[in-house]
Chains A and B, each alone.
Chain A
Amino acid sequence: MVETVAFPPARPIGPLDQRASHARARPAVRMALVPPGVRLSFRARDEAAIARAAEGFGVALPREACRFSSGGGRAALWLGPDEWMLLASGDPDTLFATLEGALTDLPHSLVDVSHRSVAFTVEGPEAAAVLNAGCPLDLSLQAFPVGMCTRTVLAKSEIVLRRTVETRFVVDAWRSFAAYVWQFLEEARREFL
């Protein structure tokens, strides 16, 4: 008898898939998963490297602190003076190879962290209030305008928070903290209908 092993093609499972599908509808604050995508952590101080990365990525890398730029379904988040998070859809390996190719011989670091975290939107008129249940930042439009992003905390977890439109935020939480972050916000929005 020939031994063969039959296995189904590996299917990705996100840490919030189940919770998100059971989330209650509350128009004041809606929460929904952002589909899985590519996350590359790009680090460089060298101007040429930064320019080359932007060119290869197709989106300018913001030089202003805590801002993101986006276009063509991609976004570049400023997370530190030499640190950007590059977001895209598709296959991480392809984008990784493209950028590495463009950056040959320039000092930099590029690391695939697509699976490290999971993102979801918090959206609605009370979105900022609900986030402020655990996030100590001033989330008014003056202090945290559309186009802003930052690493911050939500209760006992670190998150990356960005505001895409006035009433929509994207929360990016590390995989193993995602359930806690989601549940915390789910509990915080209970009083809003």
Chain B
Amino acid sequence: MSAEFRLPVGGRIDRAKPVRFTFDGKSYEGFAGDTLASALIANGVHLVGRSFKYHRPRGILTAGSEEPNALVGVGRDEAHYTPNLRATQVEITDGMVAESQNRWPSLAFDVGAVNDGLGRFLPAGFYYKTFMWPAGAWAKFYEPVIRRAAGLGRAPQAADTDRYTQRYAHCEVLVVGAGPAGLAAALAASETGVRVILCDEQAEFGGSLLHERDTVIDGRDAEAWVAEAVATLCSRENVRLLTRTTAFGYYPHNLVGLAERVTDHLAAPGSDLPRERLWQVRAREVVIAAGSIERPLVFPENDRPGVMMAEAARIYANRFGAKPGNRAVVFTASDSAYRAALDLKAAGVEIAAIADLRPDPTGAVVERARADGIRVLPGTSVQGTSGRLRIRSASLGAVVGGATETVPCDLLLMSGGFTPTLSLFSQSRGKMAWDEALEAYVPSVSVERERSVGACRGIYGLAEVLADGHAAGVAAAGKGASDGAARRFTVDAEELGHSGHRGITPHRRDASRVKAFVDFQNDVTAKDVKLATQEGFRSIEHVKRYTTTGMATDQGRTSNINALAIVSDALGKSVPEVGLTTFRPPYTPTTFALFAGQARGELFDPVRTTPIHDWAAEHGAVFEDVGIWKRARYFPEGGEDMHEAVARECRAVRESVGIFDGSTLGKIEVVGRDAAEFMNRMYTNAWAKLEPGRLRYGVMLREDGFVMDDGVVGRMAPDRFHVTTTTGGAPRVLNHMEDYLQTEWPDLEVWLTSTTEQWAVIAVQGPKARQVLEPLVEGIDLSREAMPHMSVRTGHICGVPTRLFRVSFTGELGFEVNVPANYGRAVWDAIFAAGQPHGITPYGTETMHVLRAEKGYIIVGQETDGTNTPDDVGLGWAVGKAKRDFVGKRSLARPQMQRPDRKQMVGLLTSDPATVLEEGAQIVADPNAPLPMKALGHVTSSYASSVVGRSIAIGMVAGGRGRIGETLHVPMPGGAIAVDVVEPVFFDKEGERIHG
């Protein structure tokens, strides 16, 4: 059985394909091709929502994406639920579940509607005036209550399981909007062979031509012309057609963001299709064919369900075969509503009267209406309406005095004329200008390479619109523009003027007591806008923010011009003097998921792993994030916690041998005949005399003299250095080096190559390290004499080439085995096997930290915070005093950098050896001093050391080296902890083990 208000014939719906859906739990039937709005209208349903602030019953106002009222939540379950969708854009699918929003307990009976009666206590700026005090109540009470009371849809409760993708695309011409102007532009541009992308937010191309009944273009009726145009475009390989695709944002250099809704209109989409696809289109030229939007009239009680834009009613009847009501009153200031009245009358809607604000409406369509027997009331306005959940009557009265007449109706169609859609043009930073003749803002000065065509620049006649689109298409394609063959379209269509009305319509009610809505979505009335001007707001941008008019998700597309006119009247200024607010992206609400795209789950961010990662995972490593690297932190055995595991790993390194994955270490190969000179300038150390085969610990400063990075550097050849950096510092150091090389010293013959990922690095540390490695190495003498501490040799290990470093960050005899990365795992396995007789123990970064702290080796970024000189952290010895210059040298000479009371690195020992200080804790001289007391410094590293047999800590303390031997205090919530200041070396103070 067909729905009650479904017309027997006509429309672009597919009557062979019924579609069942539910709205607020009730089942309805529509047809393929219906939107949720058209299907509800066909079922006689107009009440679809409650307003934002007053919870007034609201109906479907428009038939497009500008819809302010009919916001619904759609989704068969929580994982697919989307709130705040415009029912006018939602295509129904079989089994769709939709619900209204912002009502409790039900749409017909909503407790929040009490706000409507309290209206005069909720004026403009109400939030700003009322919820000021006490401040603490804002977060706890006001905001949650207001959010609930004045909210729109609810957020879904489950993670979105749909797929979203993104695509970059390039074209010579992007055409936004596929109405007559856009289609003509796309046809003309694509004919030249350039790449054209045509997008439209609707399910099918054609725009206004899809609901024309008697229009003929070039001898074909409008629908046939559209079909042929689309078929032509389809056949061209240089054209990409995107329906259901909203151009939501215009970004610099002609980058336009398109949101394509790929599967929402399908009942059972394949799981491999994305729900939405983001297109980032870089277009040489953009043609904006965004059309225009009909303006509501601002009259008392203009928001009841059943009050609808006249053109929208015409769309529902002509395009969707849905009758919006049985008896309509038409209220208009333009000719177009007469055309709507005639079409609706033809569809079986009784037209009770046309109230025309104009004193003397004339013209063909007006005469046609009169001839058709429609009662036309010139100089008449709507004084008010009645009806709770649906309009019941309209009260009509002459603009200049006289009696009022109550006309029963279930539909009120209004038309204040059309407003060009400037959103995208405004987003492109183009300047808009007020056109006196058109009485509209139109595009004026472009900033980007774009052009507006058709109704969005105030051209309304269909023949002119088509010609305008065609000319713009040719010009945008940049080919054949010179021949200037402007194309003519032969059009047979109703000629309509472009008159209209802006602002409040005249009425004889008490203006302080009626609600005449300007912004339906944010519940802003004419009274609110006037109040704002009375309270001193002059700028339209301020009025907008104070009243929230135009700030809803529809961006005020139905309300801006009316608000502007009210402000203009109230201030006695012309509309251009008042100005226009700026449009911002997105054009319509856009899902977060669209922007996230594929960047979810494992693709949220790259996770960098080393060649040895899988081994560590197989051996139960606990990983930590270092930047986007995963590093093994420790390897717990048999239920050990971190402290137990770290204690065991530390002992193994000190007593026998440990193995550590150092592959994440940054590596840069510095090569060229000026390599040593370059190193001299970049690092504090002296490099000229470092012989090939030797290593040196290097310190790098920023220009301000503070420590930026450190690392061991090997001289592989006179013109080749193997530089290592911290794991996190690698990209920064390479940038820093390239910056100086390219901008300061382009004369140097030296080049930098990142080799971080070329080498897997396996640290073998401990007294047995040499014994483990010796059987595996060929061509390198590992003996103490042949390969002393801080030397590097090349040779082979396990048959693969290696750069073998003898270096230690543990204070033990140690080696770092560099092998080409793909061999990393095999060599690690071999070393691990070879180390078994010695109980070789894998250790992680936490153990590495403890081992180095026991030796007082700093970690850049832990001991340092970007404000420390080399001397502050005990690295004064690494500064080549005799060097002519290096980055940061001049800064180190500043008096402040040499003050004796700078924070200096010291060791800290608690009185109770079991107490482990908290890293970051402050250090003071006297914990009983009055507050606020001066902190002398802070704890940078603190561990329980199983090897030393007690807790150890490193801190940065003002004049710290001069305080060695003193007792200081670390105030903590449980009381101050006394600490002795000591040299920051806790183990093997003589440093003999490293030479073992």
Contact = CB atoms under 8 A, between A and B. Distances in A.
B775 A5 contact: yes
A22 B603 CA distance: 18
A134 B167 CA distance: 7
Contacts of A175: 611, 757, 821
Interface stretch (A55-63, A66-74, A161-169, A182-190): A182-190
A14 B760 CA distance: 12
A188 B165 CA distance: 7
A113 B758 contact: yes
Interface string B734-756: 00000000000000011101111
Contact of A112 (B272, B602, B749, B758): B758
A143 interface: yes
Contacts of A137: 168
Nearest to A177: B606
Given A93-B801, A111-B753, A135-B168, A116 B599 contact: no
B775 A140 contact: no
Nearest to B717: A100
A105 B763 CA distance: 35
A155 B749 CA distance: 34
B506 interface: no
B673 interface: yes
B274 A191 contact: yes
Nearest to A157: B606
B511 interface: no
A113 B167 contact: no
Contact of A8 (B270, B758, B826): B826
A10 interface: yes
B822 A115 contact: yes
A109 interface: yes
Given A109-B672, A111-B671, A190 B272 contact: yes
Contacts of A155: 598-599, 603
Contacts of A190: 163, 272
B611 A13 contact: yes
B825 interface: yes
Contact of B195 (A15, A117, A140): A140
Interface residues of A, number: 55
Interface in B386-408: none
A141 B818 CA distance: 42
A152 to B, nearest CB: 11
Given A174-B757, A177-B606, A191-B165, A7 B830 contact: yes
B606 A41 contact: no
A101 interface: no
A9 B757 CA distance: 22
Interface in A35-50: 36, 41, 43
A10 B195 contact: no
A107 B755 contact: no
Given A7-B834, A108-B672, A191-B274, A132 B608 contact: no
A132 B169 CA distance: 7
B872 to A, nearest CB: 34
B167 A13 contact: no
Most A CB contacts (10 A, CB to CB) among B751, B819, B827, B830 go to B751
A110 interface: yes
A193 to B, nearest CB: 8
A173 B394 CA distance: 70
B915 to A, nearest CB: 40
Contacts of B671: 43, 109-111
A188 B673 contact: no
Contact of A41 (B272, B749, B753, B834): B753
Most B CB contacts (10 A, CB to CB) among A3, A36, A180 go to A180
Nearest to B831: A7
A7 B826 CA distance: 9
B273 interface: yes
Nearest to A83: B751
A89 interface: no
Interface string A1-37: 0011111111111110000000000000000000010
Interface string A110-142: 111111110000000000010011111110100
A12 B823 CA distance: 5
A175 B667 CA distance: 14
Interface string B658-692: 00000000000101110000000000000000000
Given A43-B753, A109-B751, A10 B758 contact: no
Nearest to B602: A183
A12 B165 contact: no
A130 to B, nearest CB: 9
A11 to B, nearest CB: 5
B672 A116 contact: no
B603 A184 contact: yes
Most B CB contacts (10 A, CB to CB) among A3, A43, A140 go to A43
Interface in B77-124: none
B837 interface: yes
B672 A10 contact: no
A4 B606 CA distance: 42
A136 B280 contact: yes
A5 to B, nearest CB: 4
A12 B199 CA distance: 50
Interface string B595-618: 000110011011111110000000
B775 A12 contact: no
Given A10-B799, A136-B280, A180-B607, A109 B753 contact: yes
Contacts of B610: 176
Contact of A138 (B170, B599, B672, B776): B170
A114 B821 CA distance: 9
B62 interface: no
Given A12-B826, A183-B602, A183-B603, A5 B833 contact: yes
Contacts of B251: none
A176 B822 CA distance: 11
Nearest to B797: A10
Contacts of B775: 4-5
Contacts of A184: 598, 603
Contacts of A179: 607, 609
B166 interface: yes
B833 A7 contact: yes
A180 B195 contact: no
B801 A116 contact: no
Nearest to A43: B751
B829 interface: yes
B573 to A, nearest CB: 46
B290 to A, nearest CB: 26
A106 to B, nearest CB: 9
A177 B756 CA distance: 12
B750 A109 contact: yes
Contacts of B776: 5, 7
A107 B165 contact: no
Interface string B785-815: 0000000000000111100000000000000
A176 B608 contact: yes
A112 B800 CA distance: 14
A13 B598 contact: no
Contacts of A36: 822
What are the 9 tightest A-B residue pairs by CB atom distance, in nearest-first order? Answer: A176-B608, A109-B751, A109-B671, A12-B822, A43-B751, A180-B606, A10-B826, A7-B830, A138-B170
Given A10-B827, A111-B669, 13 more contacts: A13-B825, A92-B820, A93-B801, A109-B671, A115-B759, A135-B168, A138-B282, A156-B605, A174-B757, A180-B603, A183-B602, A187-B603, A191-B274
9 contacts: A5-B834, A8-B829, A10-B819, A10-B826, A41-B753, A92-B820, A117-B757, A176-B606, A184-B603
